[in-house]
């Protein structure tokens, strides 16, 4: 990598002793060494209020196949709905740890609160991520377990329900456009992932200030195993995407929703759309918070390349399997 294009995320930091060693990434993952300062390609920001879905489909299909990532504006979710969601989530994370721990994950459950000091189950090194998080499902009603929804602040439930209701409309529009962009009927992509049974898993990532943001990561490099991820961050940048082996900062775009293509869309499209490899950095002085919602097929639903997209010249590149089995292999780092 050319040194001139490399940017140090925290050049003012002084010594490695500033953070515990189990947060320090190996050099090939350290953002201070591996972040590329400028892009020679554009990270797409797409206005989705275009009522011509054919035209919109082309733009979205291009971003989905070239990068697997874009941000959408003019999505129709009112600013105050997002503000209420973000205020409630921030207030929860600012509570004393004992109160947050009432929502801790139970053995074997993905939902619940996890602390920053939890070890990642990845790699032999067990390096920790500089982040706290809370997971819980928000849609459809039969998969929701309110045990994991904070009761404090009181506004949390209503704010989250209202955001979810609005987000479903955006998700449906994106699915329709992505389906048309593959030459399919508008409903086929969503139907291939479970249709109205698609499950919405919300996560809140809370990244406190870090004295050595050049050495640590919030969330390490990964692709999302879901279909699509729709995310609203606070104003502190930190998301990076990988393209052709290099890491690029994603700008914070006010009022935008960040869209990641996940593994299940890559599979259904038989590789035409790409799941984006991404990670998060942390800030020396400011707290970053993000609210991804992962749109997941039901556990027993089988996902595979959409039959209309495969033929003798373009055979299936991926296995069809139950989402439960896909998730098990991904989480345990087993071959798919
Ligand atoms: O915080 C972000 O912007 C991305 C978070 C993420 O990739 C994740 O939680 O899986």
pTM (2 decimals)? 0.93
**Can you give the pLDDT at residue 152?**
98
Nearest CA to 160 out of 109, 91, 100 is that of 91
Which entry of 132, 224, 263, 283 is annotated as an active-site residue?
224
DSSP 3-state of 302? strand
Our answer to whether residue 18 is catalytic in this structure is no
241: which strand partners?
Answer: 248, 278
Work out the average pLDDT over 273-278: 98
| DSSP notation for 208-259 | ---S-TTT--SS-SB--SSSEEEEEE-SS--EEEEETTEEEEPPP-TT-EEE
Q: How far apart are CA 258 and CA 202, in angstroms?
A: 14
Nearest CA to 118 out of 132, 103, 98 is that of 132
pLDDT tens-digit readout, 220-273: 999 999 999 999 999 999 999 999 899 999 999 999 999 999 999 999 999 999
**Can you give the pLDDT at residue 184?**
98
Residues with CB under 6 A from ligand 1: 203, 205, 219, 231, 233, 239, 278, 280, 290, 292
Our answer to whether residue 224 is catalytic in this structure is yes
Mutate to test the pocket of ligand 1, among 93, 120, 231, 261 (most ligand atoms within 8 A of CB): 231
Residue scoring higher pLDDT (7 or 45): 45
Name which of 24-28, 119-123, 193-197 the model is least confident about.
Answer: 119-123
User: Is the separation of the CB atoms in 150 and 141 below 8 Å?
Assistant: no
Please identify, by atom number, the ligand 1 atom nearest to the C-alpha of residue 207.
1
- Compute, in angstroms, the gap from residue 205 CA to the centroid of ligand 1: 7
pLDDT tens-digit readout, 210-220: 999 999 999 99
Mutate to test the pocket of ligand 1, among 219, 251, 277 (most ligand atoms within 8 A of CB): 219
239-243 β-sheet, strand order: 35-36, 246-249, 239-243, 278-280
């Amino acid at each position: 990598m050319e040194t001139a294009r490399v940017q140090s995320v925290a050049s003012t930091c002084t010594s490695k002793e500033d953070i515990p060693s189990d947060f320090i990434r190996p050099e090939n993952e350290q953002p201070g060494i591996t972040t590329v300062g400028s892009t020679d390609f554009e990270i797409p920001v797409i206005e989705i209020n275009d009522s011509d879905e054919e035209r919109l489909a082309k733009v979205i299909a291009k971003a989905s196949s070239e990068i697997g990532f874009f941000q959408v504006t003019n999505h129709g979710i009112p600013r105050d709905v997002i503000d209420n969601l973000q205020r409630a989530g921030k207030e929860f994370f600012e509570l004393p740890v004992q109160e947050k721990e009432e929502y801790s994950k139970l053995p074997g459950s993905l939902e619940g609160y996890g602390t920053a000091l939890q070890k990642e189950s990845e790699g032999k090194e067990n390096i920790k991520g500089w982040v706290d998080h809370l997971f819980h499902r928000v849609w459809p009603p039969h998969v929701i377990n309110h045990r994991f929804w904070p009761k404090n602040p009181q506004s949390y439930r209503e704010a989250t329900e209202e955001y979810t209701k609005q987000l479903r409309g955006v998700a449906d529009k994106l699915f329709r456009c992505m389906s048309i962009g593959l030459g399919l009927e508008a409903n086929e992509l969503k139907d291939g992932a479970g249709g109205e049974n698609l499950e919405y898993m919300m996560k809140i990532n809370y990244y406190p200030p870090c004295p050595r943001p050049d050495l640590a990561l919030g969330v390490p490099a990964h692709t999302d195993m879901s279909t699509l991820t729709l995310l609203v961050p606070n104003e502190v940048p930190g998301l990076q995407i990988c393209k052709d082996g290099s890491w690029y900062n994603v700008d914070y775009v006010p009022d935008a929703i960040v869209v990641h293509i996940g593994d299940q869309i890559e599979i259904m499209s038989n590789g035409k759309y790409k799941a984006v490899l991404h990670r998060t950095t942390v800030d020396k002085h400011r707290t970053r918070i993000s609210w991804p919602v992962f749109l997941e097929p039901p556990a027993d639903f089988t996902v595979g390349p959409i039959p209309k997209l495969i033929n003798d010249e373009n055979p299936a590149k991926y296995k069809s399997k139950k989402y439960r089995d896909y998730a098990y292999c991904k989480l345990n780092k087993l071959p798919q």
